[in-house]
Structure 1
């Protein structure tokens, strides 16, 4: 929230647009495994994969 002060008198920084920073780094590899940059995306069930989108962007 731009312009609102916290208890230390500093201005709180307006929330950054996280999606616009992260999205360009999301994609799949040759094995259809989803990744953020060079980091494989995982859940408690295992690696995140798709069936047919090799080297694709995630949007």
Structure 2
């Protein structure tokens, strides 16, 4: 199994909460393949696939 290189947290794309429009907290999950976002205000959650670098 190959591992993806570590992506610095500062290079992860920012996302605003759909409901509150505040900046969401972000962390890598799923073997560094997904970005998990959590709103600090309303606890709305979103996960998106991390784009692979070519």
Give TM-score, length-normalised by structure 2. 0.27
Higher fraction of strand: 2
Higher fraction of helix: 1
Bigger radius of gyration among the two: 1
Give TM-score, length-normalised by structure 1. 0.26
